[in-house]
């Protein structure tokens, strides 16, 4: 693994444990991993391998016991709660398997939310959100709430929400797990086309090898360890 200024993420000897004392379980065991700027990386492995835990740590959603995690050249262990929140809002976009849209807001409002939290002018936020709705073929759904849309439509809205703020890093945890194979591949094609066009870094946790093989590199995990890295 090459360590240089082109790495957006550098992980050294990262260890994560859940529980205390004799009931503790080490879910990540001395992980070493670098992710290059602009790279599309897939993480695969069986359930319980530690994939989602690793993704959550890279997204600053959880803490770790030992090791070092550097994002955009900064050691996040030195960050305050507010600094971590700012890092997530401005530099990281999240896509979850069950989309996690806010049910009381429309498709347009859900996409706008990261920008509004960043205090972007509402008119600008709306314009950016509408542009993405058009790219995803959902302009006609702009005023619909999640309960009024299909699962595939909701997931496209979730992807649009993740990328609307032009984050440096996009983290996706089984982003197509609730979709059929056709819509899964179609959604990933749209996402990766947008990411590669803008030079964004994407890390995708998936069980689907057809999705994984769309990446530039595949990392395989078992029992909290990285057992293989393969460039495509």
Domain boundaries, the chain: 36-49+86-231
Q: What confidence score (pLDDT) does residue 3 get?
A: 44
Determine the average pLDDT of the residues in 159-164.
93
Q: What architecture does CATH give domain 36-49+86-231?
A: 3-Layer(aba) Sandwich (3.40)
Confidence grade of residue 5 (pLDDT, cut at 50, 70, 90):
low
Q: What's the average model confidence in pLDDT over 71-88?
A: 92
Mean of the per-residue pLDDT values of the chain: 91
Return the percentage of the chain with pLDDT > 70, whole number.
98
Q: What sign for the dihedral angle of Cα 15, 61, 88, 184? A: positive
Residue pair 25/19 in contact by the 8 Å Cβ criterion:
yes
Token representation of residue 1: 């693994």
pLDDT digits (tens, 9 = 90+) for 12-22: 999 999 887 77
């Amino acid at each position: 693994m090459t360590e240089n200024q082109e790495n957006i993420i550098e992980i050294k000897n990262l260890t994560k444990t859940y529980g205390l004392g004799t009931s503790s379980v080490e879910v990540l065991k001395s992980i070493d991993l670098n992710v290059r700027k602009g790279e599309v990386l897939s993480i695969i492995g069986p359930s319980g391998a530690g994939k989602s835990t690793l993704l959550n740590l890279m997204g600053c959603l959880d803490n770790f016991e030992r090791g070092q995690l550097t994002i955009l050249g900064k050691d996040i262990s030195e960050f305050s709660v507010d600094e971590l929140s700012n890092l997530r809002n401005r530099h990281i976009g999240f896509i979850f398997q069950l989309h996690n849209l806010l049910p009381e807001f429309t498709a347009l409002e859900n996409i706008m939310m990261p920008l509004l939290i960043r205090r972007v002018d509402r008119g600008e936020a709306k314009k950016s959100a509408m542009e993405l709705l058009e790219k995803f073929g959902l302009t006609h759904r702009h005023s619909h709430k999640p309960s009024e849309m299909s699962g595939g439509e909701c997931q496209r809205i979730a992807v649009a929400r993740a990328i609307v703020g032009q984050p440096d890093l996009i983290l996706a945890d089984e982003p197509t797990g609730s979709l059929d194979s056709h819509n899964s591949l179609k959604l990933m094609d749209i996402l990766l086309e947008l990411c590669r066009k803008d030079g964004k870094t994407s890390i995708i946790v998936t069980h689907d090898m057809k999705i994984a093989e769309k990446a530039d590199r595949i990392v395989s995990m078992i029992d909290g360890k990285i057992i293989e890295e393969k460039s495509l």
